[in-house]
């Protein structure tokens, strides 16, 4: 089974990168390496590409803590999984890495990424460009995860051909998350109860949905949709609520200390 999964991943990578390369060649008239992205050395004497992408991590996802292990197992076994906890616990990374792995192995046909367009009081209208350009900063963290798991060239190809879709939460109304779709709603603490209800009622048979957030970092006033949904749906068949704690933070020891200083009392 492991050999077959590895073979499928390699076949997927070859197919997507080959298609990406052909598409780039057709548009530019010359072949380009989809993953040729490095950090610019300001003192370099030779010309370097200026784009940067996270190094690809081809190895299967491995949990870094017992809590992550339970969270990963829950996502694989349940139709709807809530991941709740402080920053740095790996909520988004685990969800994104599992979505990438499922797409690569042919278990799903597309990944749908969404989040509320709420950030320190600013909304999409304050940012320049069209809708895609406005929403891009909100989803960049997930794109970095997908780049690391699939390769930047593959992710770019999948975005342009509908295999990976990033869309604001406000645009989910009327959609159905159908079979063979992996949906991730991030920063869900910034949803209202009405928005969360709208999102959750999009779930169709066979879809896999992950909702992440930290109820203590909400940027909206009043009750937030994440806390409300967990209270309402806890215990339903097919629904799992996973709670990360302060000790589950893997980003850095400093983050744990910072959270300790901020959480007792906020201005």
Residue 90: which of 250, 260, 241, 216 has the closest Cα?
Answer: 250
pLDDT, tens only, 188-202: 999 999 999 999 999
Q: What is the mean pLDDT of the chain?
A: 81
Q: Identify the pLDDT of residue 163.
A: 94
* 18 φ/ψ angles, rounded to the nearest 5 degrees: -65, -45
Asked whether the predicted pLDDT for residue 158 surpasses 80, the reply is yes
Which whole-number Å values give the CA distances from 263 to 71, 196, 216, 260, in the listed order?
Answer: 24, 25, 8, 6
Asked whether the predicted pLDDT for residue 32 surpasses 70, the reply is no
Tell me the pTM. 0.78
Asked whether the predicted pLDDT for residue 131 surpasses 80, the reply is no
The three state secondary structure string of 252-267 is: CHHHHHHHHHHCCCCC
Asked whether the predicted pLDDT for residue 252 surpasses 70, the reply is yes
Q: Identify the pLDDT of residue 108.
A: 96
Asked whether the predicted pLDDT for residue 148 surpasses 60, the reply is yes
Look up the CATH number of domain 59-262. Answer: 3.40.50.300
Asked whether the predicted pLDDT for residue 38 surpasses 50, the reply is no
**E strand map for the chain:** 80-84, 110-115, 164-168, 181-185, 208-213, 239-243
Asked whether the predicted pLDDT for residue 40 surpasses 70, the reply is no
**Confidence class of residue 23 from pLDDT cuts 50, 70 and 90?**
low
**Confidence class of residue 134 from pLDDT cuts 50, 70 and 90?**
low
- As a whole-number percent, the residues of the chain with pLDDT over 90 amount to 47
């Amino acid at each position: 089974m492991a050999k077959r999964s590895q073979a499928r991943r390699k076949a997927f990578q070859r197919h997507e990168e080959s298609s990406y390369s052909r598409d780039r060649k057709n548009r530019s008239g010359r072949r380009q390496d989809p993953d040729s992205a490095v950090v610019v050395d300001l003192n370099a004497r030779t010309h370097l590409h200026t784009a940067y992408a996270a190094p690809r991590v081809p190895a299967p996802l491995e949990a870094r803590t017992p809590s992550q292990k339970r969270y990963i197992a829950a996502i694989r076994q349940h139709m709807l999984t809530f991941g709740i906890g402080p920053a740095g616990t790996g909520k988004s990374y685990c969800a994104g890495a599992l979505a990438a792995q499922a797409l690569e192995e042919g278990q799903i046909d597309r990944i749908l990424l969404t989040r509320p367009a709420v950030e320190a009081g600013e909304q999409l209208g304050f940012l320049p460009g069209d809708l895609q350009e406005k929403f891009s900063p909100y989803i960049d963290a997930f794109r970095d995860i997908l780049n690391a798991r699939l390769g930047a060239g593959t992710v770019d190809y999948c975005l342009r051909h509908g295999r990976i879709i990033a869309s604001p939460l406000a645009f989910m109304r009327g959609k159905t998350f159908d079979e063979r779709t992996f949906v991730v709603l991030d920063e869900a603490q910034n949803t209202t109860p009405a928005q969360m209800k709208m999102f959750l009622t999009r779930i169709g048979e066979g879809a896999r949905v992950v909702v992440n957030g930290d109820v203590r970092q909400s940027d909206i006033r009043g009750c937030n949709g994440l806390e409300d949904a967990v209270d309402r749906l806890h215990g339903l068949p097919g629904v799992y609520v996973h709670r990360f704690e302060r000790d589950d933070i893997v980003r850095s020891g400093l983050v744990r200390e910072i959270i300790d200083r901020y959480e007792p009392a906020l201005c």
